[in-house]
Amino acid sequence: MVSEGGPERPAAVTHPDLAALVSVQLRSEDGPIPAALERGEPVDSADLLREERWPAYRALALDSGVRSSVTIPFRRSGLTVTLSLYSFRPGALEDAPHGPARALGDLAVTCLVRDRSYRAALTELDQLGAALRTRPVVDQACGIVMHVLGCDADAAFGVLRRVSQATQRKLSDVASAVVDKRGRGLERELVSLSD
């Protein structure tokens, strides 16, 4: 299960019966997954037949044939991943938090953090690309506004920004309109916005 601090907690399971075990814990906020998220350390139950915690989870697990479980949390960069292992035999998962499951969880959280960083970088790159493509039009519009109002570049940009905000249009769209009209017919409107 993956948690980024919000209400959405996507989970993946390797067997259809396990989906219900995850759902009952998330719905009731009671079970090994919520406990591991709260404590930040592995939570296990060596034998669910003798377990007294988590009644709804315990009943569903036993009904599914699960006798023991362990949930291991992994936290990194605001992301929490929990890895839950289940067994049909009691006491079968005692060493799980220290063996290959630990390596698998570390790898999963590292990959998810990298993927999130990569997606953020791509988004930023797209935004920078869009800004670079619109920059010449904004610069031209600033030049026209500077000529019409007899002001400096900062003041001209401020006027364009105010028009953008007042009309709820993108700055690049406002700049394109100014360039298309070459400032003609906009003199009064620009003067009133320059105050």
How far, in Å, are 80, 119, 134, 172 from residue 122 at the CA level? 23, 5, 18, 21
pLDDT for residue 141: 92
Instruction: Give per-10-residue mean pLDDT for the chain (195 aa).
Output: 72 84 90 92 92 92 93 89 91 84 88 90 90 88 89 91 89 89 70 61
- pLDDT at position 114 is 92
Q: 21-30: long-range contacts (C-beta < 8 A, 24 or more apart)? A: 21/57, 21/60, 21/61, 21/64, 21/66, 21/84, 21/86, 22/84, 24/56, 24/57, 24/60, 25/54, 25/57, 26/1, 28/56, 28/57, 30/54, 30/55, 30/56, 30/57
Q: What SS3 class is residue 76?
A: strand
pTM exceeds 0.95, yes or no: no
* pLDDT reported for residue 8: 72
What tokens does 9 get? Answer: 């907690």
Task: Please check whether residue 42 is in contact with residue 75, taking contact to mean a CB–CB distance below 8 angstroms.
Answer: no
Amino acid of residue 154: D
Tokens of 59: 């009943």
What is the predicted pLDDT for the residue at 97? 80
So what's the pLDDT on residue 2?
A: 78
Structure-token match 């839950």, residue found: 84
Residue 103, classed as helix, strand or coil, is: helix
Per the structure block, which two tokens stand in for 118? 């990569």
